[in-house]
Structure 1
Amino acid sequence: MTHSPTVGPTRVPSGLPSGRSTGARLRAYLRLAKAGMIDYYLSLVVVWSLLPGQPLSGPVSATLAALLLGQMCLVAAAVAFDDVTGYRDGSDATNYGPDAPARKLARKPLLAGTLHESDAVRFARGALVAGALCWATAVFTAPSRPAWAVLGLVAAAVVIPQYSWGLRLSYRGFQEVFLAAVGWAFVLPSYGLLTGRITGLAVVEAFLFGLGPLLFGVYSNTHDIAGDRAVRRPTAACVLSSRGNTVFVGALCLLETAVIVAAAPLGVAPWWFPLVLLPVTVTRAVQFTVGMVRGDVLRARLTGIRAHRILVVALVTANLLGAGTA
């Protein structure tokens, strides 16, 4: 995801084919929305597993469904706005150029010429409105409405589209915090609406969940240094030296491991919690070795996505085991 007009946009040679089928157009919009990237949406599986008895009926089901649709719409709006910005400033053309064979150009429908810029802007605005309506429905159907959870949801709805549009938060040095904060915002307010409370375990799992997207995003940023520097986007990879960036990524990995290990002695999680999450720690070590030691950052990014999904499975397993032994 990239921004700020200093590099000119790369236009497709002849615009969109006039005879596109409805199916082709739908596929282009799904790519614009990054529909295949489900990682943030897994937050609600974690939230459900934290619920006492893991109910799936009545208000709980309706609230979960509305929360999920809202998440999908708001993320779709954010990434569509981001694609428009990256297209306008030319940074996506740099980052998805011939030197990035591991990335498919079809993932960027503006660059590929399957959508017009105006199509993407309209789509993003419509998704933003739809997401706000879905989350308003979630508040209405929720079993509980603690003020902190409602305000958290409102804040997330306002901030998420500002990644590279409006306030352009990633241009202000908040890119890494943003990636993690979206995950935190998808877990804690949702848990509050469904339970009316907050627990230490919910905070720990929200924190770990948010680190997941950050820990594959930093590898993307490492690959995208040239494009991001060209548009003056101050990611950690751009601002720090190569060694400093390696230390930064390593520190994030160690932070994740420290939280996993400390949860049990602090009384937040059962003693066996770190054992259930051991596959996450092992996969994270492999990811760091591949990306920061061997220099294959795009492969490490894919390993990070896998690690995040392993984390979700591990958290859900721990929660279900905890409920069974409570």
Structure 2
Amino acid sequence: MTDSIVAGRPTAATHAPSRLRSYARLGKLDVYDYYLGIFLALAAALFPLDTFTARKALVLALFLVGEIAVLMAMVALDDVTGFRDGSDLANYGPDNPLRSKARKPLVAGALTVPQALRFAWTCAVAGALLWTAASALAPHRPLWALVAAGALFVVSLQYSYGLKISYHGFQEAFLVALGAVLVIVPYGLLTGEFAGFLMAQAVLFGFGPLMFGVYSNTNDVEGDRAVGRPTVAALVSERGNAVFIGVLSAAEFLIGALASATGTAPWWFVLLMLPATALRTRQYLTGFVRGDIMTARRTGFTVHRLGVVLMTAANILVGWGATR
């Protein structure tokens, strides 16, 4: 592919499949972890089985496809900003061999900024239309769910572009909120209810992307400091960042433990989540005892996906038990 690039611009020799791969990389379609939240909403709303209609399934499908479009817009705009301010050039350039330049089509020269912007805004419009259709078709439209979806849409597009929210702090909190909203909104559209147990799961779900995001920030600290992007890793010392991530790791366990202790979740929920807790501990030791941050980051994906499986199982057990 590099042979068909002149001065950073794709030439006519670039094949369509290569261009499609570049857009897929720009939209980070291989990182599907936020999309897994739909399984938590589905499992929580599935019972009684005879009340789960084709209409509800279609609402979930429309919401999921809209979610994919919105998040592709968000990450594409993030890449545009990272390319323009030079942070991606620093974090994915030759001085950082642990990060693949191919994952950043603008840095690799596979796409231009105007192409990336057109892709991002097309995805944003598609996402808005799909979420509107899902809400119109939904059996319930609680105000809190509509407001949460609307706020998420607006804030996502301003995350690294426009207002550049992530350049003014709040990045870590946003990652958790993003995951939580993507779980509770589709559930609200299907049931019209707000469930404490699902909310606890939604926060834990948001912790998943946070806990591989903070390891990415640890690796990217120099590039983020250079452009003034105030992640916690960029603002504090190396030791302070290690303490921060350790506190987050402990907080994740405590959220599940508190939910079980207060009756918000079944008493056995904290025990069910112990495999994920053990793997989260291993992630921390890999990153800050062995000093292998990028392996620890990859472990974070495994922890998140395992957590989704365990929480989905918890919802099925609760739902099945309530209908017997």
* TM-score tier after normalising by the smaller chain length: over 0.9
Q: Classify 1:319/1:12 alpha carbon distance in 2 versus 1 (closer, same or farther; 3 Å).
A: farther
Counterpart mapping for 1:28-107 below 5 A: 28-51=22-45, 52-53=47-48, 57-107=53-103
| Distance (whole Å) between structure 2 residues aligned to residue 272 and residue 12 of structure 1 | 60
| Distance (whole Å) between structure 1 residues aligned to residue 228 and residue 281 of structure 2 | 31
2:243 is equivalent to residue 247 of structure 1? yes
| Distance (whole Å) between structure 1 residues aligned to residue 39 and residue 96 of structure 2 | 33
| Distance (whole Å) between structure 2 residues aligned to residue 281 and residue 155 of structure 1 | 31
- Letter matched to residue 15 of structure 2: S
Shift of 1:100: 2.9
Shift of 1:236: 0.2
Shift of 1:56: 5.3
Tell me the residue number matched to 1:289.
285
Aligned residues: 316
Shift of 1:208: 0.4
Tell me the residue number matched to 2:194.
198
Tell me the residue number matched to 1:280.
276
| Distance (whole Å) between structure 1 residues aligned to residue 303 and residue 121 of structure 2 | 32
2:152 is equivalent to residue 156 of structure 1? yes
Shift of 1:57: 3.3
Counterpart mapping for 1:168-179 below 5 A: 168-179=164-175
| Distance (whole Å) between structure 1 residues aligned to residue 302 and residue 136 of structure 2 | 35
Shift of 1:206: 0.7
| Distance (whole Å) between structure 2 residues aligned to residue 49 and residue 100 of structure 1 | 41
What SS class does the counterpart of residue 173 from structure 1 fall into? coil
CA contact (8 A) 1:205 1:315 kept: yes
Tell me the residue number matched to 2:310.
314
CA contact (8 A) 1:12 1:112 kept: no
| 1:121 corresponds to which of 114, 117, 124 | 117
What SS class does the counterpart of residue 42 from structure 1 fall into? helix
| Distance (whole Å) between structure 1 residues aligned to residue 147 and residue 284 of structure 2 | 36
CA contact (8 A) 1:12 1:111 kept: no
CA contact (8 A) 2:8 2:110 kept: no
What SS class does the counterpart of residue 315 from structure 2 fall into? helix
Q: Deviations over 1:171-227 (max 9, x none)?
A: 111111111111011011221111101111011011101111101100000000100
2:104 is equivalent to residue 108 of structure 1? yes
Tell me the residue number matched to 1:269.
265
Counterpart mapping for 1:221-236 below 5 A: 221-236=217-232
Q: Classify 1:271/1:211 alpha carbon distance in 2 versus 1 (closer, same or farther; 3 Å).
A: same
**TM-score normalised over the length of structure 1:** 0.94
| Distance (whole Å) between structure 2 residues aligned to residue 232 and residue 63 of structure 1 | 41
Deviating beyond 6 angstroms after TM superposition, the runs of 4 or more aligned structure 1 residues are none
Shift of 1:135: 0.5
| 1:208 corresponds to which of 199, 204, 217 | 204
Q: Can you give the 5+ residue segments of structure 1 that lack an aligned partner in the other structure?
A: 1-10
| Distance (whole Å) between structure 1 residues aligned to residue 140 and residue 60 of structure 2 | 13
Shift of 1:14: 4.4
Tell me the residue number matched to 1:299.
295
Tell me the residue number matched to 2:9.
15
| Distance (whole Å) between structure 2 residues aligned to residue 12 and residue 233 of structure 1 | 31
CA contact (8 A) 1:33 1:77 kept: yes
- Letter matched to residue 322 of structure 1: V
**TM-score normalised over the length of structure 2:** 0.94
Shift of 1:103: 2.2
What SS class does the counterpart of residue 35 from structure 2 fall into? coil
